[in-house]
């Protein structure tokens, strides 16, 4: 169940709610997904590509980039497509209990690399911090995320900042 999803709060598969695992040291994990959203005033297709590299047994670094296509119906019909803003992230294991509870911290920085005039990017640098908890029972895992995204750091205002709260339930049909 997704309770709140501000723009800029991207995670790994399904790229909204993250799990507390990190990529093993020296390994590369590639996450790719396609989102389609149809609202009353627009249609959006988003294809983020998210390679993550394991740096240590406890930490990883990732980069998210990709393609965005938006068709706006209001105020004037228009279509924009192209690359969206780049997101650089890092995730570190903080705690793992004998009972299987994992706690991880993640920090993301979004760089304004897409066209603001074409509405593909915000034109601002954003930063987000997230606390991620995962607990598994057999093949079923629960992921809880809470975070804060500070939008437009240079603007010196917090009026458009956003809290993120999400939960996901995963079930593995095969043994890992």
d(CA 154, CA 123): 10
d(CA 7, CA 77): 22
pTM value is 0.80
Residue 6 has pLDDT above 50, yes or no: no
| Per-residue confidence (pLDDT) for residue 172, from 0 to 100 | 87
| Per-residue confidence (pLDDT) for residue 11, from 0 to 100 | 43
Question: Mean of the pLDDT values across residues 148-153?
Answer: 86
Residue 123 has pLDDT above 90, yes or no: no
Which residues make beta-bridge pairs with 23?
A: none
Residue 159 has pLDDT above 80, yes or no: no
| Per-residue confidence (pLDDT) for residue 5, from 0 to 100 | 37
Residue 112 has pLDDT above 50, yes or no: yes
Kindly report, residue by residue over 59-77, the tens digit of the pLDDT: 999 999 999 998 887 777 7
What secondary structure letter does DSSP report for 173? Answer: S
| Per-residue confidence (pLDDT) for residue 15, from 0 to 100 | 53
Question: Mean of the pLDDT values across residues 127-147?
Answer: 95
* Stronger pLDDT, 153 or 32, i.e. the higher one: 32
* Highest averaged pLDDT of the listed ranges 41-50, 109-118, 137-146: 137-146
Determine the length of the chain: 176
For residue 154, which phi and psi values (nearest 5 degrees)? -70, -20
Do residues 63 and 84 make contact, with C-beta atoms less than 8 angstroms apart? no
C-alpha distances out from residue 152 to 62, 109, 125, 129, 131, Å: 21, 11, 5, 15, 21
């Amino acid at each position: 169940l997704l309770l709140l999803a501000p723009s800029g709060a991207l995670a790994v598969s399904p790229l909204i709610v993250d799990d507390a695992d990190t990529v093993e040291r020296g390994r590369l994990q590639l996450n790719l997904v396609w989102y389609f959203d149809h609202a009353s005033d627009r249609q959006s297709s988003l294809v983020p590509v998210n390679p993550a590299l394991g740096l240590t047994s406890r930490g990883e670094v990732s980069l998210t980039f990709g393609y965005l296509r938006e068709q706006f119906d209001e105020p004037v019909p228009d279509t924009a497509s192209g690359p969206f803003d780049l997101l650089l992230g890092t995730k570190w294991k903080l705690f793992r209990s004998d009972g299987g509870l994992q706690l991880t911290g993640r920090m993301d920085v979004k760089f304004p690399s897409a066209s603001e005039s074409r509405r593909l990017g915000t034109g601002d640098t954003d930063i987000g911090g997230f606390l991620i908890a995962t607990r598994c029972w057999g093949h079923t895992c629960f992921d809880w995320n809470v975070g804060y995204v500070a939008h437009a750091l240079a603007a010196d205002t917090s009026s458009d900042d956003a809290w993120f709260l999400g939960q996901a339930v995963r079930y593995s049909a095969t043994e890992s």
